Amino acid sequence: MLELRNLSKSFGDFQAVKSVSLSVPDGAFLTLLGPSGCGKTTLLRMLAGLELASQGQIVFDGQLVSDGDKSWSVDPAKRNSGLVFQSYALWPHMSVRGNVEWPLKVARVDKSVRDQRVAEVLALLNIAELADRYPNEISGGQQQRVAIARTIAPKPKVLLFDEPLSNLDAKLRVEMRTELMRLHRATGATTVYVTHDQIEAMTMASHVAVMKDGRVEQFGQPDDLIRVPETAFVATFVGTPPNNLVPVSPGPDGPVVRGRPIGLRPPVEGPCFAMYRPEALRLDDQNADRTLTMELVEASRIAGRTMVTMVDGDMRLTAIVDQPPTAEIGDSVRVVLPERPTCWFDDMGRRVGTDRTGAG
Amino acid sequence: MTGRRVLFRQGTVLKTIVLALLVVLIVLPLIRTVLVTLQPDAIDAWSDVLVGRLSHNLFYRPLVNTLILGVGVSVGCVLIGGYLAWLVVMTNMPLRRTIGVMATLPFMIPSFATALAWGTLFRNDRVGGQVGFIQGLGVDVPDVLAWGMLPSLIVLTLHYSSLAFTVIAAALATVNSDLVEAAQLTGAKGVRVVLGIILPVTTPALVSAASLCFAGAVSNFAAPALLGLPVRMQTLSTRLFGMIEVGQTARGYVIGIMLVLVSALFLWLGNRVISGRRSYATITGKGGRAKRFDLRGAKWPLFGIAAVILLVATVVPIVVLVASSLAPSSAQLFGNWTSHYWLGQSSPSIAQGTPGIAYNPDIVRALIVTLGLGCAVAVAGMAVGLLSAYTVARHRTGWASATITQISFLPLLVPGIAFGAAYIAYLGAPIGPLPALYGTFALLVIAATAYLLPFAVQTGRAVIQQVSGELEESARLTGASFLRRLAEITVPLAIRGLVAGGLLVFVKIVRDLSLVVLLFTPTMPVLSVLAYRYASEGFTQFANAVAVVILALSIAMTLIAQRLQAKSQPWLKN
């Protein structure tokens, strides 16, 4: 089990990570997902032992490895963990073999065992034929594989990845995603994976922690995040395409959306947000109840259906519809909101009301 | 899994060690010097120097001369350096590359070598001894051209103009060509663009070039000593030297402290002017493919002026020194050449029996000491420099890192001769159980290491920045110790830069005169001081021959270092 208890980290006055608590079972694939600057990399560096926590504890496998409250920490090398850097951090003066072998040398592994293990991981990552090349002689995707081979060579129980795919092109990224999941199954190591790409997070992870401003906004399995987003931020950050938030404010004759009355019944007084799934919105020429007139700005075919995006002022809605719209880009279209939104958020972004069904 | 309590924040131990080292090397000598002047038997030196009957001669006249030198040299350097930099970076002048390389050369020639060359050419009969080449041609050289302020000004301006060139050219190279093109699109013509856009944008560089040249000129010892002292023109640095030489150390230290204050004041003022305004740093990753000003017809005349300046600053002094080391008389530089001053055995008829430098035990010993000193300081300097730079780069936060940076650049404010004086005050006498180090090789090495630390740290920093922190962190994750990481990751990756930095430190100390002139003892001679002594005693040929040796050493090493660094000179790229 990998467990974090009230983990915090400050740099001077700046609090990068604020009281994070979560735990995942052995062999889990945990992604830390969030926009840049949300503290996810700092959290990872604390797990690796490169930063000392300001407060809170880190427990690997039932054993405390770091206690910020007591300024106590297990040396990075003794945590049985390995980190793959975003930049790969391959040592440019060593060959591929040298890079993979060096950590084993430092650990005083016997030469014969070492050679065997190096051959093993190079084969596992399909880079055996690159063994004698230097990092600047191989491609970005190959460097990535070397970085991973180097990290798994000492057989760590916990594998840490810092945005490992962000430097690869789109196609390679998809291939590496599959490769990493295969590797995860092969090694069985508990994996913590930092990314800002929600597709990566949702496709690879067994557990996702969505972070924002140093806090965990929501921690759960990918499906939970989609089904029951706890905050407006999570609702709009995960999912492809992400959910729609419609700002609803009180008016003299009931709730209004952008100044126009609409037949919705928010669970709170005051301004709030109604969340709709893209597939729940419809385009309709008829002027029905709960209809918004908006400008059509994008339409694209996706897997036999059509994704349309509309804007009205700063409100932007995305719908997945069966038929392409007849209107041209720039024309007005009418969007029909279902009677009951999937859920509601108050103006602080917190989920309100009792509606917890995921029905769209 | 065993853990350990992290008693200190990461890097605290390293920071403490480096800080202690810097305090011992740099802070203590300076404090010690001030304290010495505050002793009861020395405190009178302050009033003697600043307000007493002698103060006019001891301090104020040298101060005025020093300031004239400083202002004159900085103005001259910015004009010459700026002119050359503009031509090389911004225009389509022919042979830009060559001029760009040549413009960095004068700084490789030690200022005492240029001063010796000047004397060889322009010396007249005012103080006796051999006359120079021009007098030898039958032309009467007026005193004002032969001695004192004017020649010192010219020699120092030629010397420091390449410093100004480097600073200004680097700044001009960062001026994005978009900036210039945007101005040209508004219809502005060449001069307007220079005055309205380029000049304001590069003002910070001009100011910092000026203050660096000022600080260099006021602290320079060689030129005023060789060209001014014979006619009793004193600057603060020659006064300081004179006071220590005659044993009035307290007065010497006071003058030294005043010299530090003057030089620091102007560097500080320069910094104030720059930091007071917005920084215009325009370094972007985009290719700086500057569109060059078309000089049209003015091409060749402007090139001619640049070429003459550079010939005078580089080729002429070298030719004169080499010729003079072969000619029995400066008056006839290019006739009767003899190899006596290089290879001759002692002969009573020439130079009071001084043998040529290959057989001269003093010079051979000085050569060995100098080379040893250069190597020792290069290794020690780069070691301390790398360690300091590493500490600051990897542990950026906290007051200790800021203090390390500040202290390591402190010697820049201290003229070499004042630094030498401080080290005499510091280690010249026994401290507790430690013996006095005066006259030992160790003193030379320690003082020179401390003196060149700003340079070593800066080089170290550039080197460290090339090695990404993650490379080292990933090594740390494997459990490799600090020393192992340094030895197997950081140093191998940085080795070229380190060697280049070490070579440059070597060059700087081998050709230095101002620091070692006070630490010199007959048992521990160094080449530059020997050259200076020979020149003062009228053995021009020997002085010049030694200067040629130093020149050859420093130029060769500098070229190797530049090759190693593959020094990027973005203003030369097309």
Chain A residues within 8 A of B5 when measuring between CB atoms: 70-72
pLDDT given for residue B570 in this prediction = 42
DSSP B315: I
Residue in chain B closest to A86 (alpha carbons) equals: B470
Distance of CA B40 to the CA centre of its chain: 36
pLDDT at B452: 92
Please report, for chain A, the start and end positions of each structural domain, with discontinuous segments joined by +.
2-232, 241-352
pLDDT digits (tens, 9 = 90+) for B55-70: 888 899 999 999 999 9
Judged by average pLDDT, the poorest of B91-95, B440-444, B493-497, B515-519 is B493-497
How many CB atoms within 10 Å of residue A137? 12
Alpha carbons within 13 angstroms on the beta-carbon side of residue A100 total 31
**A92: chain B residues, CB-CB within 8 Å:** 471, 493
Lowest-confidence pick of A311-320, A338-347, B126-135: B126-135
Q: Considering just the CA atoms, what is the radius of gyration of chain A in Å?
A: 24
Q: Which of B5, B471, B475 sits opposite A72 (nearest CB)?
A: B5
Q: Tell me the average pLDDT across B371-383.
A: 94
> Mutate which of B478, B490, B498 to test chain A, going by most A C-beta atoms within 10 A?
B478
- Phi then psi for residue A311, to 5 deg, are -130, 155
- Identify residues of B whose CB sits under 8 angstroms from chain A CBs: 1-7, 9-10, 397, 468, 470-471, 473-480, 484, 488-489, 492-493
Q: What is the predicted pLDDT for the residue at B572?
A: 43
Helix (H) or strand (E) run with residue B382 in it:
helix B361-394
| Residue among B2, B10, B468 whose CB faces A87 most closely | B468
Interface test with A, best of B1, B477, B481 (most A CBs within 10 A): B477
B2: which 2 tokens?
Answer: 């065993």
Residues A330 and B509: their CA atoms lie apart, in Å, by 73
Q: Cα distance from B460 to chain A (closest Cα, Å)?
A: 19
* CB–CB contact B397 A85 (8 Å): no
Contact between A3 and A53 (Cβ < 8 Å): no
Are residues B468 and A89, on separate chains, in Cβ contact within 8 Å? Answer: yes
Q: Render pLDDT for A72-91 as a digit per residue (tens, 0 to 9).
A: 888 888 888 899 998 888 88
Reported as a single tens digit per residue, the pLDDT across A43-74 is 999 999 888 899 999 998 888 888 888 888 88
User: Among partner residues A50, A74, A106, which is closest to B473 by beta-carbon distance?
Assistant: A50
Q: Considering CB atoms only, which of A78, A87, A89 is closest to B2?
A: A78
Closest partner CB to B476 (pick from A63, A76, A93): A76
Q: Do B478 and A48 touch (CB under 8 A)?
A: no
Q: How do the residues of chain B divide into helix, strand and coil, expressed in percent and rounded to 5?
A: 75, 0, 25
Closest-CA residue of chain A to B472: A89
C-alpha–C-alpha distance, residues B458 and B467, integer Å: 15
Cβ-based contacts of B468 with chain A (< 8 Å): 87, 89
Residues of chain B neighbouring A80 (CB-CB closer than 8 A): 1
User: Residue B351 has what pLDDT?
Assistant: 66
Residues of B in contact with A81 (CB under 8 A): 477
In whole angstroms, give the CA distance from residue A278 to residue A243.
6
Q: Tell me what the mean pLDDT of segment A195-200 comes to.
A: 92
- Residues of chain B with Cβ-Cβ distance to A52 below 8 Å are 6, 9-10
Domains, chain B, with CATH or none: 12-30+47-348+357-565 (1.10.3720.10)
Greatest Cα-to-Cα distance within chain B, rounded to the nearest angstrom? 90
pLDDT for res B165? 92
Determine whether the interchain pair B1/A48 forms a contact, defined as Cβ–Cβ distance below 8 Å: no
Q: What is the pLDDT of residues B396-408, one digit of tens each?
A: 777 888 888 889 8
- Mean pLDDT in residue range B14-32: 92
| Entry field: residues in chain B | 574
Residue of higher predicted confidence among B10 and B528: B528
With beta carbons under 8 A apart, name residues in chain A contacting B476.
50, 76-77
Question: Per-residue pLDDT for B289 more than 80?
Answer: no
Q: Rounded CA gap, B175 and B200, in Å? A: 11
Report whether pLDDT(B511) > 50. yes
pLDDT at residue A30 tops 50:
yes
Token duo for residue B543: 């002085």
Q: Is CATH 3.60.9.10 the classification given to domain A241-352?
A: no
Q: Tell me, what's the pLDDT at B571? A: 43
Q: B176 pLDDT exceeds 80?
A: no
| pLDDT interval class at B574 (50, 70, 90) | very low
* Subunit contact A75:B6, Cβ cutoff 8 A: no
Supply the mean pLDDT for chain B. 84
3.40.50.150, 3.40.50.300, 3.20.20.80, 3.40.630.30: CATH of A2-232: 3.40.50.300
Who's near B186: CB < 8 A, 6+ residues apart?
none
Q: Residue B7: is its pLDDT beyond 70?
A: no
Contact check, Cβ <8 Å, A79/B1: yes
Segment among A206-215, B232-241, B431-440 with least mean pLDDT: B431-440
Question: Of A11, A59, A85, which to mutate for an interface test with B (greatest number of B Cβ within 10 Å)?
Answer: A85
In terms of CA atoms, which chain A residue is nearest residue B481? A106
| Rounded mean pLDDT, A15-44 | 93
Among candidates B5, B477, B480 on the partner chain, residue whose Cβ is nearest the Cβ of A82: B477
Tell me what percent of the residues of chain A surpass a pLDDT of 90. Answer: 52
Instruction: Say which residue, B235 or B326, is predicted with more confidence.
Output: B235
Per-residue pLDDT for A107 more than 60?
yes
List CB contacts (< 8 A) between A65 and chain B. 1, 3
Cα(A71)–Cα(B9) distance, integer angstroms: 9
The predicted-structure confidence for B148-173, as pLDDT tens digits, reads as follows 999 999 999 999 998 899 888 888 88
pLDDT at A115: 95
CA distance B418 to B440: 19
Residue of B nearest to A94 (CA): B489
Question: Which of B330, B514, B328 is closest to B420 using CA atoms?
Answer: B514
Cβ atoms of B223 and B158 closer than 8 Å: no
Q: What is the pLDDT at residue B287? A: 42
Average pLDDT of the residues of chain A: 89
Question: What would the DSSP string read from start to end of B436-470?
Answer: P-TTSHHHHHHHHHHHTHHHHHHHHHHHHHHS-HH
Q: Is the pLDDT of residue B358 over 80?
A: no
pLDDT at B486: 87
Query: What percentage of residues in chain B have a pLDDT greater than 90?
Result: 27
Statement: residue B278 has pLDDT above 90: no
Per-residue pLDDT at B286:
41
| CA nearest neighbour of B253 among B446, B42, B85, B525 | B42
Q: How far is residue A19's CA from residue A8's CA, in Å, rounded to a whole number?
A: 5
Kindly tell me if the per-residue pLDDT of A214 is higher than 90: yes
Tokens of A198: 């929600």
Provide, as residue numbers in chain A, all residues whose Cβ is less than 8 Å from the Cβ of B492. Answer: 93
Residues of A in contact with B396 (CB under 8 A): none
Q: B93 vs B304, B314, B443, CA distance in Å?
A: 10, 20, 49
* C-alpha–C-alpha distance, residues A127 and A146, integer Å: 8
The pLDDT value given to residue B4: 55
In this predicted structure, what is the pLDDT of residue B281? 45
Q: Report residue B514 as tokens.
A: 């101002």
C-beta atoms of B397 and A12 within 8 A: yes
pLDDT higher for B471 or B352?
B471
Alpha-carbon distance values, A303 to A202, A282, A319 (Å): 19, 18, 14
Q: Please list every residue in chain A whose beta carbon sits closer than 8 Å to the beta carbon of residue B474.
A: 83, 85, 89, 91, 150
pLDDT in tens, B193-241: 777 777 877 888 888 889 889 988 998 999 999 999 888 999 999 999 9
The pLDDT-based confidence of B305 (bands split at 50, 70, 90) is very high
Residue A156 has pLDDT above 70, yes or no: yes
Given this chain, do its domains A2-232 and A241-352 carry the same CATH topology?
no
Report the alpha-carbon distance of residue A189 to residue A183 in Å, rounded: 9
